[in-house]
């Protein structure tokens, strides 16, 4: 029997701290349309092997096989930062998709047989909410976390779990805890302890930098490069539709959204695959994240500073030192920000994860991404950085001297993004991705600066 999570918060305790607020998880959410899936050996829903060129709408896939740490090093602490699972389009995106479909339907006849399926096509996607597959992604992630790191927890020290307050993020966190608990056969049952409201100080959402610009200039420039030939094919196949390049982009997005919602590959995938549309679609997402909250946005990486400083506090067991978007009241309390746990799990959004990557110094580009010409050797691929249910894992390790690693001793850190081990060149990491904890902390000068990176510029 499947339990259900309810969409409205039936019993969340609200704590007010002057101008700050936080919700502490008290009870399972009341039921609407989004299921909470019990952890199982196999997911309850199936999606075909995901395409890896759907940018931030790609379903999660491991970019590389997980590499166990060197035999001379033991993992002592783990920090997981995870995006919510697959969802329906946002309300704005959904409206644009429906408008584009309406144009295609104005055609009296389809002269391109690739469009014939539209005669019987019905748009039936919801908005914003997790789809069943998205819920299953988090259950699976919780199971994987227990399998890999379950030895770190005990009855007195369960994983400490936080989430940003969007419903899809909260549900992803609670499904992760369900997966973790079931994988432990009920021995360990973590709960979502803190929900950070997106209307206030929140290190898990990019909501506090009003002066930050958008990626629209760059994504629009790229749309004018890659979309016209596809738009031309659509209009030739649907005479009178007068589809625009923006419509084309929204129609391409039906491939990932329909696929994750229905559990079978959308017919739009085949349509746009035949038009070679996905490389361009992917690069649009790369530009969106790079110039939205990544390196290309002057006030992008500063929005990840608060989380980085929380991470450093947990790694070193010292109080948080930050003057950006952290909730200082919550971070000062051992009840809402403990420093003695071995496993932490935080649930967030793709935009915020991009900011955190940039604040840390991950995925640097030697030159900014060109809005008119992709570099195939670039490091910044949205599908590899922030797919649905993306995860960054920071492992803290204790190393002792050994024959294979002479002289390496003490506390070290390594980072994996979607299981791909990061080189951490900025802190002098060895070939296996480990750098000394002290060196890692020192490398985070941008976040640790008294001014909090460029935080004051957010309000100029």
Angle between the N-to-C axes of helices 216-226 and 278-292, in degrees from 0 to 180, rounded to the nearest 10: 170
Is 266 in contact with 253 (CB distance < 8 Å)? no
Residues 357 and 431 in one domain: yes
Asked whether residue 440 is assigned to any structural domain, the reply reads: yes
Pairing of strands 160-164, 343-348: parallel
Domain end marker among 229, 263, 289: 289
Residues 118 and 98 in one domain: yes
Is 269 in contact with 73 (CB distance < 8 Å)? no
User: What H or E segment, with its residue span, contains residue 351?
Assistant: helix 350-360
Spell out the SS3 assignment of 122-177.
CCCCCCCCECHHHHHHHHHHHHHHHHHHHHHCCCCCCCEEEEECCHHHHHHHHHHH
Q: Which of 5-14, 127-136, 206-215, 436-445 has the lowest mean pLDDT?
A: 5-14
Asked whether residue 8 is assigned to any structural domain, the reply reads: no
| Cα radius of gyration rounded to whole Å, the chain | 22
Residues 152 and 245 in one domain: no
Q: Cα–Cα distance between 350 and 385 in angstroms, integer?
A: 9
CB-count burial class (<10 Å; 0-12, 13-18, 19+) for 154: exposed
Largest CA distance in the chain: 75
Domain end marker among 270, 289, 308: 289
Q: Cα–Cα distance between 32 and 396 in angstroms, integer?
A: 39
For residue range 267-299, list pLDDT tens digits in order.
Answer: 999 999 999 999 999 999 999 999 999 999 999
Catalytic residue among 84, 140, 286, 412: 84
Asked whether residue 435 is assigned to any structural domain, the reply reads: yes
Asked whether residue 295 is assigned to any structural domain, the reply reads: no
Residues 283 and 234 in one domain: yes
Using the predicted structure, report yes or no on whether residue 258 has a pLDDT greater than 50.
Answer: yes
Residues 21 and 163 in one domain: yes
Asked whether residue 27 is assigned to any structural domain, the reply reads: yes
Residues 396 and 328 in one domain: yes
Per-residue confidence at 453, pLDDT binned at 50, 70, 90?
Answer: confident
Residues 204 and 135 in one domain: yes
Residues 395 and 418 in one domain: yes
Using the predicted structure, report yes or no on whether residue 451 has a pLDDT greater than 70.
Answer: no
Identify the CATH number of the domain in which residue 199 sits: 3.40.50.1240
For residue range 383-413, list pLDDT tens digits in order.
Answer: 999 999 999 999 999 999 876 555 689 999 9
Q: Cα–Cα distance between 309 and 315 in angstroms, integer?
A: 10
For residue range 77-111, list pLDDT tens digits in order.
Answer: 999 999 999 999 999 999 999 999 999 999 999 99
Using the predicted structure, report yes or no on whether residue 27 has a pLDDT greater than 80.
Answer: no
Domain end marker among 289, 313, 340: 289
Mean per-residue pLDDT, 6-11: 30
Q: Cα–Cα distance between 78 and 359 in angstroms, integer?
A: 19
Residues 200 and 74 in one domain: yes
pLDDT of residue 48: 56
For residue range 143-196, list pLDDT tens digits in order.
Answer: 999 999 999 999 999 999 999 999 999 999 999 999 999 999 999 999 999 999
Distances, alpha carbon 166 to alpha carbons 84, 195, 201, in Å: 9, 9, 14
Residues 224 and 366 in one domain: no
pTM of the predicted protein model: 0.91
pLDDT of residue 16: 25
pLDDT above 70 as % of the chain:
88
Asked whether residue 113 is assigned to any structural domain, the reply reads: yes
Q: Is 124 a catalytic residue?
A: no
Q: What average pLDDT is seen over the chain? A: 89
Residues 55 and 176 in one domain: yes
Q: Cα–Cα distance between 315 and 348 in angstroms, integer?
A: 20
Spatial neighbors of 68 by CB under 8 A, at least 6 apart, are: none
Specify the long-range contacts of residues 209-214, CB closer than 8 Å, at least 24 apart: 209/299, 209/302, 209/303, 209/458, 210/458, 210/459, 211/299, 211/457, 211/458, 211/459, 211/460, 212/293, 212/297, 212/298, 212/299, 212/300, 212/303, 212/458, 213/297, 213/298, 213/299, 214/291, 214/292
Strand, helix or coil for residue 346:
strand
Residues 171 and 119 in one domain: no
Asked whether residue 294 is assigned to any structural domain, the reply reads: no
Q: Cα–Cα distance between 422 and 420 in angstroms, integer?
A: 6
**Which domain range does residue 76 map to?**
13-88+129-213+300-459
Domains of the chain: total: 2
Catalytic residue among 346, 350, 412, 454: 350
> Running DSSP on this structure, what letter comes out for residue 185?
T
Asked whether residue 40 is assigned to any structural domain, the reply reads: yes
Backbone dihedral angles phi then psi of residue 16, each to the nearest 5 degrees:
-110, 130
Q: Is 84 a catalytic residue?
A: yes
Strand, helix or coil for residue 26:
coil
Per-residue confidence at 443, pLDDT binned at 50, 70, 90?
Answer: very high
> CA end-to-end span of the chain, whole Å?
54
């Amino acid at each position: 029997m499947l339990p259900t999570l309810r969409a409205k918060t039936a019993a969340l305790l609200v704590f007010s701290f002057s101008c700050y607020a936080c919700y502490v998880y008290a009870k399972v959410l009341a039921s609407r349309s989004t299921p909470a899936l019990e952890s199982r050996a196999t997911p309850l829903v199936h999606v075909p092997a995901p395409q890896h060129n759907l940018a931030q709408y790609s379903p999660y896939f491991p970019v590389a096989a997980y590499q166990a740490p060197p035999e001379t090093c033991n993992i002592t602490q783990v920090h997981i930062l995870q995006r919510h699972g697959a969802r329906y389009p946002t309300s704005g995106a959904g409206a644009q998709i429906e408008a584009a479909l309406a144009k295609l339907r104005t055609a009296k006849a389809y002269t391109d047989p690739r469009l014939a399926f539209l005669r019987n096509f019905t748009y039936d996607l919801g908005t914003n909410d997790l789809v069943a597959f998205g819920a299953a992604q988090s259950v699976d992630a919780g199971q994987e976390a227990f399998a890999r790191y379950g030895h770190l927890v005990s009855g007195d020290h369960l994983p400490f779990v936080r989430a940003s307050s969007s419903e899809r993020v909260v549900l992803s966190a609670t499904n992760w805890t369900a997966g973790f608990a079931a994988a432990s056969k009920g021995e360990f049952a973590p709960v979502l302890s803190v929900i950070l409201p997106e209307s206030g100080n929140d290190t898990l959402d990019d909501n506090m930098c009003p002066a930050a610009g958008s990626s629209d200039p760059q994504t629009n420039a790229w749309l004018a490069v890659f979309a016209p030939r596809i738009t031309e094919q659509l209009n030739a196949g649907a005479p009178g539709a007068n589809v625009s390049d923006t419509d084309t982009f929204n129609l391409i997005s039906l491939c990932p959204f329909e696929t994750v919602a229905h559990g079978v590959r959308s017919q739009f995938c085949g349509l746009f695959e035949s038009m070679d549309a996905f490389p361009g679609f992917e690069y649009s997402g790369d530009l969106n994240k790079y110039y939205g909250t990544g390196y290309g946005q002057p006030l992008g990486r500063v929005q990840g500073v608060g989380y980085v400083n929380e991470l450093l506090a947990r790694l070193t067991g010292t109080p948080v030192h930050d003057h950006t978007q952290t909730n200082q009241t919550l971070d000062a309390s051992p009840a809402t920000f403990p420093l003695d746990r071995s496993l932490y799990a935080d649930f967030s959004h793709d935009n915020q994860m991009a900011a955190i990557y940039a604040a840390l110094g991950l995925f640097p580009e030697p030159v900014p991404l060109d809005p008119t010409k992709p570099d195939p050797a670039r490091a910044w691929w949205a599908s590899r950085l922030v797919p649905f249910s993306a995860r960054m894992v920071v492992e803290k390790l204790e190393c002792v001297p050994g024959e294979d690693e002479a002289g390496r001793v003490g506390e070290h850190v390594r980072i994996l993004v979607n299981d791909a081990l990061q080189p951490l060149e900025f802190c002098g990491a060895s070939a296996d991705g480990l750098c000394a904890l002290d060196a890692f902390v020192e490398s985070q000068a941008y976040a640790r600066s008294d001014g909090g990176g460029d935080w004051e510029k957010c309000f100029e």
